[in-house]
Amino acid sequence: MRIDVITIFPPLLAGAFEHSIIKRARDGGIVDIQIHDLREYTDDRHRTVDDSPYGGGAGMVMKPEPWFRAVESLRPQGNPGHVVLLTPQGRRLEQRLVQEMAAEERLIILCGRYEGVDERIREHLVDDEVSIGDYILSGGEPAAAVLVDAVVRLQPGALGSSHSVVEESFSDGLLEYPQYTRPPEFRGWRVPEILLSGDHGAVERWRREQQIERTRTRRPDLLLTGDDVSETTS
């Protein structure tokens, strides 16, 4: 998979893709991630990317020309890529949407700034708009880090064999069960005896009960929707 991210703050994102699972996936050729500086696609001396809004009002609006120039210069003839604008006005990111994005051969991610982008970018350049939740970030960069991480770890081979996508929270619509490791007692707090019992069937039942109870108390909305994204997880 190929992912291009266009931003006015490349250093903000570079570090996010240089560690752990994403680094390994990049090193292993599973994903090719390229970060591009929007200012490289300006044509004036000041490398201007924004301007004041028509009609007046506070804040600045990102100009269309650098975005169009950037995306058009990145697109090879054959593979245009799915162009995603990160904005609080977008579709809210959930695992189902992550799976949709992960199935693309190529993503071109545009990091908007909160104050806004010229509407013609939305209308004529972008295929999809995504938000990572109902709160305001100053720019799309942290959202790009979130989206790329979630998408990369779904690429075949990105996770080691010790790690199963299927067992994770949300892949079956439930939260994770509680986990413990050594020591069996820490500051007087014991690991649940059942986990030390060696009875695998009992452990499995206990974990399932914990998942359901935890989901019921913390995220009852997950039980109510009946959403189950596991069928599309492989």
In the complex, the residues that contact ligand 6GU under the rule CB under 6 A are 86-88, 114, 131-133, 135-137, 139-140, 143
CA distances from 148 to 91, 109, 153, 204 (A): 16, 9, 9, 32
CA–CA distance, 223 with 167 (Å, rounded to integer): 17
For residue 79, the one-letter residue type is: N
In this structure, what is the dihedral angle of CA atoms 53, 56, 57, 63, given to the nearest 10 degrees? 0
Strand pairing report for 106-111 and 2-7: parallel
Q: Determine the residue type at 45.
A: R
- Residue 86 amino acid letter: L
Q: What share of the chain is helix, strand, coil (3-state, %, to 5)?
A: 40, 20, 45
